[in-house]
Amino acid sequence: MTSVSEDRVAALVEAARRAGADAADAVYYRSESTQVQVRLGALEDVQRSDGEEIGLRVFVGQRSASVSSSSLTDDAIAALVERAVAMAREAPEDPYAGLAPADRLLTGAAPEIDGDDGADPAPDRLRELALVAEEAARAVAGVTNSEGAGASAGRTAMALATSTGFVRGFSSSGYGLSASVIAGEGASMQRDYAYHSTRHLADLEAPEAIGRRAGERTVARLNPGKLPSGPMPVVFDPRVGSSLIGHLAASVTGSAIARKTSFLLGMLGEQVFARGLFLRDDPHRPRGLRSRAFDGEGLPTQAIDLIDDGVLTTWLLDSASARQLDLAPTGHATRGGSGAPGAGTSNLYLDKGALSVAELIGDIKTGLFVTELIGQGVNMVTGDYSRGASGFAIRDGQLAEPVAEVTAAGNLKEMFLQMTAADDLVFRRAHDVPTLRVDGMTVAGA
């Protein structure tokens, strides 16, 4: 599939040059997926999707335009090229526009990331996985109802070509399994969930384990109380703690820095996290959910410590933001089917610390252990943080009763400096962290 798509994007770039573009790049995506949903032991829905899109970006001097199409007929492609060049000629000049530097493009053999297992499970196999997961969740004592379980399988092919000679593509597979159930009755009902996503079907967690975890999490939330308001340590479960490093990643993109809309503006080379913490982006992890050999502009990718012993080492730069900041692109360009590239991470993770989870919370007299975050109360310009939360009270160094309807607040600058990591890091998501403790936050409870 990738060789065909590479030919398509190369031909599209050549057509744009013939039509008068000084430079061009083209990207192609094809995706196919099957999703199965069950509820209360019965099949509820089966969906199949299969689509493709091709995008073209052209430059006429310092003017540029981007267009895309989901129709790949000869007439549609010809119209796409004509429209793109015409739009570029009328666009305003942008001194930072342009392709990635030709001397920085990936050459030679690409790193092997093992992102496609070649499997194509039938819908009945996905149904079986979902049914087993839901059955295991419903079997947990205290579970009273089900929101269902779902299983999915898919494959994506991507290809990129530039008029500077880059033409490459790759394919990746993806699988997911989830379950969500309800415990309790009436106004006392609680819900929770569990899920797992992988590149290889063989790596998918057993459905019994996913279902059991969903049920146990749900029952554990029954009869929640509230914490007293005040300053206290807040401990983040890994499934919600990963959002903290997501805020960091968003704040160090080149566009945010160039527009001066980041709370970390001017902090390059400064201590941002507590000493001893390392935040790594690893695009070459075998079977990683966001592994990639090249970025959205054709530059080679490489593992890098964004945070090295607490110090911020780099911005995440595509070519346009790099020119604006008078720096070099970093191989973090991201690209969809339309529009200009942005910048982002691949497999981002905060490395584990030295303490067990028990040791991490062992000296907390009163605190909050967060398992769910609600709302979007994060100001990326100032770093102010305030989100609804639920989870468990920490009392005398132990997890205690469930709590709900509380708010955890602080400022990300101070939160990062007051953060301590446990030793329980597991690679399960695109952003991974161990259990995290943040001292000095303010909790609004009862």
Q: pLDDT tens digit string along 172-214?
A: 999 999 999 999 998 889 999 999 999 999 999 999 999 999 9
- Cβ neighbours of 35 (radius 10 Å): 18
Dist. CA 334–CA 243, nearest whole Å: 19
Element at 285 (helix H, strand E):
none
Cβ neighbourhood burial of 90 (10 Å; 0-12, 13-18, 19+): exposed
Give the model's pLDDT for residue 440.
94
Give the model's pLDDT for residue 158.
95
Is 28 in contact with 53 (CB distance < 8 Å)? yes
In sequence order, which ranges of 316-399 are alpha helices (DSSP H)?
Answer: 319-324, 357-361
CA-based angle 147:149:154, to the nearest 5?
Answer: 135
How many whole angstroms from its chain centre is CA 76? 33
Put residue 419 in one of left, alpha, beta given phi > 0 → left and psi -120 to 50 → alpha: beta
Series of mean pLDDT values for 10-residue runs along the chain (446 residues): 78 96 96 97 96 96 95 93 96 95 95 95 97 98 97 97 96 98 93 98 98 98 93 97 97 96 97 97 97 97 97 97 96 90 97 98 97 93 97 97 96 98 97 97 88
* Span 44-80, pLDDT tens digits: 999 999 999 999 999 999 999 999 999 999 999 999 9
Dist. CA 391–CA 234, nearest whole Å: 10
Question: Nearest to residue 299, comparing CAs of 333, 328, 327, 322?
Answer: 333
Token code pair at residue 57? 């970006």
Question: Nearest to residue 224, comparing CAs of 398, 364, 368, 393?
Answer: 393
Domain with CATH 3.30.2290.10 in the chain: 2-219
Name the DSSP letter for residue 253.
B
Give the model's pLDDT for residue 4.
64
Question: Nearest to residue 312, comparing CAs of 275, 363, 355, 358?
Answer: 275
Dist. CA 281–CA 412, nearest whole Å: 20
Tell me the CA distances in angstroms from 113 to 27, 29, 291, 425, one per residue in order: 20, 19, 6, 21
- Cβ neighbours of 383 (radius 10 Å): 19
Cβ neighbourhood burial of 424 (10 Å; 0-12, 13-18, 19+): middle
Q: Are strands 419-421 and 398-411 parallel, antiparallel or unpaired?
A: unpaired
Dist. CA 26–CA 339, nearest whole Å: 11
Give the model's pLDDT for residue 1.
45
Architecture of the domain defined by 2-219? 2-Layer Sandwich (3.30)
Is 253 in contact with 343 (CB distance < 8 Å)? yes
Tell me the CA distances in angstroms from 170 to 30, 53, 71, 88, 152, one per residue in order: 11, 15, 21, 29, 21
HEC string of 70-132 equals CCCCHHHHHHHHHHHHHHHHHCCCCCCCCCCCHHHCCCCCCCCCCCCCCCCCCHHHHHHHHHH
Is 115 in contact with 291 (CB distance < 8 Å)? yes
